[in-house]
Structure 1
Amino acid sequence: METLYPTINPKLIEKITEAEEIAIFGHTNPDGDCVMSQLAVSYMLSSLGKKCHLFNQGPFNRSDINPYSLYFATEVPDELVKKNPLVIVVDCSTIDRPGLIFDKVSTLERIVFDHHSSGENFCKREFSYIVPESVSTTLVLEQLRKALAIPLTYDLARFLYIGFCTDTGFYHFLRRSNAEESLRIVTEYVKEGVEPYEVFDTLNDGKTLDYYKEISTLVNRTIAIYDGQVLYTYQNHQEALADSVSDVLYSQLLTVKGVKVVFFFKEKEDCIVVGMRSKKDSKVDVGSFAQSFGGGGHFFASGASLKKTLAESITLVTTAIKDLLDTNEIES
């Protein structure tokens, strides 16, 4: 049977097997796939007797992953660096994604597990396992579980399933090319006792009224350009939220008739973070588009950071995207 997942390089497995101390990193402003991937790696390798340390710079603003923040350290102790731990990075397409917390271990040997289609290869090829066809990093890590012959337990299955649900929008972003194998894998998690409805509630409950008011504000200031093929909105620095609105915002704006690409510009203290999403039938690869600005991501979901003002960033990105659109549909 054909599979989306190639065999993991034996050298990578050997490197993990030989390690005694392991430091596990994910990207800043983590989502469910990132957090659950880190927890899954720690769970699996701890079961093999490894001493695992979880690090994430945060912030853990999303209500669905905030309870897990207690498991993560935000600083790397000097004592750990002196022990020369094996570094494992998950769900990161570029070396800057883990944030400043990663600086202390940036020269140490590392392994990368990811599913982003663009970005940079920031470790030796034999020590990276990147599967762009995978719908989540947790399903990439399912292959590590099998390679290490680690038994599937309820706790591990739940970690892996939540990551899958986060990055597929609870099955919404599955495509025929990856659905069959993905569903076959997660069926095993359900058999292990994971309840889909409980996970859905975990991912969606707990939102505040202010959360939905902010979404309303962002939708109201959304601007349509190129005859409605592109929508963009923005958030000023002083409008920092207690919870992320990005996922709901994108899902709503991508349902607008005629839209192909959505941009969300978020003003930070030292940069502008641009979230990019494209509709499944648009054929616009926002992953490659983000890479042209030093960012990365997937074909349909990506992001980049720009050292410019908010106005400059909007002009730069919205001008550049025109070349990727169907110019026949843009009135002169």
Structure 2
Amino acid sequence: MVAPANLPGHPPSSARGRGAKSNRTGRFESQVSEAFDDGWGEEEEPAQIATVLQPMKSRTIIARNDSPDVGFESSINPYRGCSHGCIYCYARPAHTYLGHSAGLDFETKIYFKPEAGKLLERELSRPKYVPKVIHIGGDTDPYQPDEKTLRVTRAVLETLARFRHPFSIITKSNLITRDLDILGPMGQAGLARAAVSITSLDHRLSRSMEPRAATPKRRLDAVRQLAAAGVPTTVMFAPSIPSLNDHEMEAVLEAAAAAGASTAGYVAVRLPLEIKDLFEEWLAAEHPDRARRVMSLVRQMRGGAAYSTEWGKRMTGEGPVAEVMSQRFRLARTRFGLDRKLAPLDLSQFAVPAKAGDQLSLF
């Protein structure tokens, strides 16, 4: 099915305050919808598309994976979809499993898990549960704007604190500082660490790539507050995009060190499945002067393709361009003292809290 641009139900090719430039049909949908200009309409101002929040029922809340690349086995994602709208987000293709587009749908149709705290309590209370560090936000950001009122992530953190369960959390939002009353004591006890993603210090570039995420200045302030509260904090320069933001790598790490970060990491840009076309469409619209060069360098890092799924290379790429990026990161991390090794989070403190009515031990 082909639909003309801006028809009801078909998002426009440009939306104010959003990252994606279109709503390309997801790969699991039975009909294909494509916008086109029939020549009859006048040029319009970009439309504003509202965010639609939908509760999501889940039977469990802890997800498990065996990927050797991600660094954790257990994770919790309080949300699906993310209104931060980061154009490069590797979680976009997952929205197609819900019958949505990885484009504007991913940014505007947000699912949340209202029972996350209760589900987590139930799972942690099982007699056969074996604690492993839980990573929060490995898919979509746990502190996207609507968390301010929904407080789903807050409920998860409260539960983990009651059980003395170790966790890590990653975000690009300064809303994380709201929960310093939990993160601070847990961090000081060896039960929590945080990571803040900072991709640029350039406000204009950041706004273009990540339209509804916190500004670079506010993210650095979050790092400063987390570190001051005793939370070991990593700054992630992720993704590093050649000829777009990679030249800022050293400056970001220097600013992170000054803010009190303990360590740093980076990830080379990844463009799997639908993200490739969405990213190229965004490049052509936002950075036409360098679009061809960026994609040429990306392909040089991925064996000639836009993306490679090979373990051990997904996060860093390969070839001369990737090697230079990796070497620059290692040198900068050492120069700014961000190469220290963090102590493992303490699994031994985990304990199921007593409930009202539980029989007291005689010994």
TM-score using structure 1 length: 0.28
Larger radius of gyration: 2
Between Structure 1 and Structure 2, the one with more strand by share is: 1
Between Structure 1 and Structure 2, the one with more helix by share is: 1
TM-score using structure 2 length: 0.27
Larger RCO, structures 1/2 (Cα 8 Å, 6+ apart): 2
